[in-house]
Amino acid sequence: MKKEFIPYEQALALKELGFDEKCISVYLTSTKNFYPIYRPYTNNEQTDEILRPLYQQAFRWFREKYNLDKVIYPTLGSEGNYYINIFQNYNSDNSLYWNCSYETLEEAELECLKKLIEIVKTK
pLDDT given at position 95: 75
Task: Give pTM, 2 decimals.
Answer: 0.86
Nearest to 67 by CA among 123, 114, 11: 123
pLDDT confidence of 42, banded at 50, 70, 90? low
Q: What does pLDDT average to over the chain?
A: 85
Q: Is the pLDDT of residue 46 over 60?
A: no
pLDDT given at position 98: 80
- Answer yes or no: are the C-beta atoms of 115 and 58 closer than 8 Å: no
115 by Cβ neighbours in 10 Å (0-12 / 13-18 / 19+) ranks as middle
Higher pLDDT, 106 or 77: 106
pLDDT given at position 103: 86
Q: Count of residues for the chain? A: 123
- Per-residue pLDDT, averaged over 45-68, amounts to 89
Q: Is the pLDDT of residue 49 over 80?
A: yes
DSSP state of 61: H
pLDDT confidence of 91, banded at 50, 70, 90? low
